[in-house]
Amino acid sequence: MDKFKIQGGCTLQGEVTISGAKNAALPILFATLLCDDEIHLSNVPDLKDVATTLKLLEILGASVKRNGDLTVLAGAVNHHVAPYELVKTMRASILALGPLTARFGMADVSLPGGCAIGARPVNLHIHGLELMGAKIVVEEGYIKARVDGRLKGAHILMDMVSVTGTENLMMAAVLADGRTVIENAAREPEVVDLANFLNALGAKIQGIGTNTLTIDGVERLHGGAYRVQPDRIETGTFLVGAAISGGEILCRNTDPTLLEAVLVKLEEAGALIEKGADWIRLDMRNRVLKPVNITTAPYPAFPTDMQAQFTVLNAVAKGTGVVTETIFENRFMHVPELVRMGADIELQGNTAVCRDTEHLCGAQVMATDLRASASLVLAGFVAHGVTIVDRIYHIDRGYEDIEGKLLALGGKIERIRGE
């Protein structure tokens, strides 16, 4: 397994080009299953999760061409099983369920299982499809959905705000017979990007960006071209890196409107922020880093996918900052690793109380999930000495060329290849 070796005491400084959003690209790629014409996608990040999704699409019978941009043709899809071997490596594979059920009337998708950040059940996905007329059983570790003819439009009130749950049901509803209303829908920018993509192919989705989506089913979608939105979490991760290391950074090819809650907290932490239509500049030179209290919640509130990075910010800022995680029940796996680096963080249920420490010390640490891994890399840059971050396959799932980008910003980071 690959590791990162990071030399501490670096300031992240310079320009970085932000990639397309993983969490928008993945549902959009699964949505290509809804259509039998050719679809051209640009700004799709080159990531492990994207490679896994493309492999899954190919197993299902789609043809995929990558030549910088991506062309997907799902016209020949003839297989309806998303196998455990792929699903276990990427939870977003659950997004095959809605499109396959809608288009072919059958889908067998392996249950993704629990993961480091929590149990992550998919009951809302299943219940919504049942309301649309699918018969669903869970056997031998697979969700097996069947429907005679088309799914039927339905009124769905989501018990909790679920991002992929909303996406799965929205994709299914697009080809259903009649109108579907999804209430308490997720409003995350990635849900909006998927909805805009589907409408570009002829879907009829209204209420995009609100918590009530109204979808009038159509008989078929047509092909088209679409550009995936920039990655707000990658953007936020680089901004935090510059903020904690006292640097100055310009993120290009991003969209500041997608991460307002994060920018507000960075300003509260003492950073100077400037922004334009597709860029954000953060300057932390000669400024004092202050702790911030954050509480994760569904969009437009503070994103759980930025919680680990802000836990590091609080660990190195002067004073006490409190981090409350309300989305996932076990998303503090980075805390014991940060404590091993000398951070003074006390866990109290779903709250991490971060007090300031003189400095972090390099250590051997273990990455447990995607954003936890990113937070440990950032911590390594501001620590004294060398940090080894083990199991970085998590990072490769979601950050395109992370070490190339960090090296260009002055980070001293080296990939040590494992067997």
Ligand X SMILES: CC(=O)N[C@H]1[C@@H](OP(=O)(O)OP(=O)(O)OC[C@H]2O[C@@H](n3ccc(=O)[nH]c3=O)[C@H](O)[C@@H]2O)O[C@H](CO)[C@@H](O)[C@@H]1O
Ligand Y SMILES: C=C(OP(=O)(O)O)C(=O)O
Burial class (CB in 10 A: 0-12, 13-18, 19+), 419: exposed
Q: How far apart are CA 47 and CA 63, in angstroms?
A: 19
According to CB under 6 A, which one of 11, 19, 53, 162 is a site residue for ligand X?
162
| Rounded distance between C-alpha atoms, residue 265 and residue 322, angstroms | 13
CA angle 346-383-414, nearest 5°? 125
* 105, 147 Cβ separation under 8 angstroms: yes
Residue 281 interacts with ligand X (CB under 6 A)? no
265 contacts ligand Y (rule: CB under 6 A): no
Query: Contact, 54 vs 90, CB < 8 A?
Result: no
Interaction between residue 125 and ligand X (CB under 6 A)? yes
Contact between 305 and ligand X by CB under 6 A: the answer reads: yes
Q: From the list ligand X, ligand Y, none, pick the one residue 398 interacts with, judged by a Cβ distance below 5 to 8 Å according to partner type.
A: ligand Y
398 binds ligand Y, rule: CB under 6 A? yes
In the complex, least distance from residue 76 CB atom to ligand Y, rounded to whole angstroms? 27
From ligand Y, ligand X, none, which one binds at residue 163 (CB under 5 to 8 Å depending on kind)?
ligand X
Among 74, 370, 379, 392, binds ligand Y (CB under 6 A): 370
Contact between residue 121 and residue 138 where contact means Cβ atoms under 8 Å apart? no
| Site membership for ligand X, residue 30 (CB under 6 A) | no
**Given 165, 217, 380, 411, the residue binding ligand X (CB under 6 A):** 165
User: Is 35 a known active-site residue?
Assistant: no
Handedness of CA 197, 198, 204, 208 (dihedral sign): negative
Q: Which of 29, 41, 74, 92 binds ligand X (CB under 6 A)?
A: 92
Count of residues interacting with ligand X (CB under 6 A): 21
Binding annotation: 22-23, 91, 305, 327
DSSP states along 109-174: EE----BTTB----HHHHHHHHHTT-EEEEETTEEEEE-SSS-B--EEE-SS--HHHHHHHHHHHH
| The entry of ligand X, ligand Y, none that residue 327 binds, CB within 5 to 8 Å by partner kind | ligand X
> What is the contact mask toward ligand Y in residues 300 to 339, using x (rule: CB under 6 A)?
-----x----------------------------------
- Decide whether 193 or 283 has the Cβ nearer to ligand X: 193
Annotated binding-site residues for UDP-N-acetyl-alpha-D-glucosamine read 91, 305, 327
Strands 294-295 and 321-324: parallel
Q: Which of 80, 371, 394, 405 binds ligand Y (CB under 6 A)?
A: 371
How far, in Å, CA of 243 to CA of 282, rounded? Answer: 7
If DSSP states are collapsed to H, E and C, what string results for 293-342?
Answer: CEEECCCCCECHHHHHHHHHHHHHCCCCEEEECCCCCCCCCHHHHHHHCC
Active site residues: 115
Residues that bind ligand X (CB under 6 A): 23, 26, 91-92, 118, 120-125, 160, 162-165, 190, 304-305, 327-328
Residues that bind ligand Y (CB under 6 A): 23, 91-92, 305, 370-371, 398
